[in-house]
């Protein structure tokens, strides 16, 4: 005789069952989900073209024409910052410093290289868009978009900077 599942086992089973899909062409019934399950929403892997949509609401994507000019290097990429190997605290400090210096120098676009992480879900890749959307950088950052493949693709971001105010 089978024993009833414990609450923590039900939760784990619910998470596993939510990730299972029937094979194509099979008319298998979907497994019933336990009623007591409070499973968090699972995040589907992003396609390359969806990166701009997935970015934080606080930062707009770069306008398509400007992004095209940056990716083709018709608009100069004024600086590159590689955050590989840095801790989150150090990476955030270096990123903010870099952006403030670039903006002060009148640079209009920069490339931030975060890397993809081991399985495409690196910590810096996820966190950098949030940091760029911080209120204290809103006077600097005009928009962000995933970089073209030759500039790092999903492991890098174009950051469009606002013009400096005239004095």
* Measured distance CA(165)–CA(167) in Å, rounded: 6
- CB-count exposure of residue 145 (10 Å: 0-12, 13-18, 19+): buried
pLDDT-based confidence at residue 117 (cuts at 50, 70, 90): confident
Arithmetic mean of pLDDT, 70-75: 88
Residue 33, pLDDT > 70, answer no
Q: Is the entire prediction scored with pTM above 0.85?
A: no
Q: Please tell me the predicted confidence (pLDDT) of residue 79.
A: 92
Q: Is 132 helix (H, G, I), strand (E, B) or coil?
A: helix
Residue 39, pLDDT > 70, answer no
* Measured distance CA(35)–CA(14) in Å, rounded: 10
Q: What is the pLDDT of residues 78-87, one digit of tens each?
A: 999 999 989 9
Residue 57, pLDDT > 90, answer no
* Measured distance CA(70)–CA(62) in Å, rounded: 10
Two structure tokens written together for 10: 């039900």
Q: What percent of the chain has pLDDT over 90?
A: 42
C-alpha angle 128-76-91 in degrees, rounded to nearest 5: 20
């Amino acid at each position: 005789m089978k024993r009833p599942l414990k609450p923590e086992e039900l939760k784990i089973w619910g998470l596993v069952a939510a990730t299972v899909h029937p094979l194509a062409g099979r008319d298998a019934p979907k497994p019933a989900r336990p009623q007591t399950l409070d499973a968090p929403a699972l995040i589907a892997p992003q396609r390359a073209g969806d990166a701009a949509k997935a970015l934080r609401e606080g930062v707009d994507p770069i306008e398509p024409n400007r992004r095209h000019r940056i990716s083709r290097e018709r608009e100069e990429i004024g600086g590159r910052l590689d955050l590989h190997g840095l801790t989150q605290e150090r990476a955030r400090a270096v990123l903010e410093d870099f952006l403030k210096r670039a903006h002060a120098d009148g640079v209009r676009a920069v490339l931030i290289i975060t890397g993809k992480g081991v399985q495409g879900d690196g910590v810096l890749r996820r966190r950098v868009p949030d940091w760029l959307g911080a209120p204290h950088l809103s006077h600097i950052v005009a928009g962000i978009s995933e970089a073209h493949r030759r500039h790092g693709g999903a492991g890098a971001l174009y950051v469009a900077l606002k013009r400096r105010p005239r004095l």
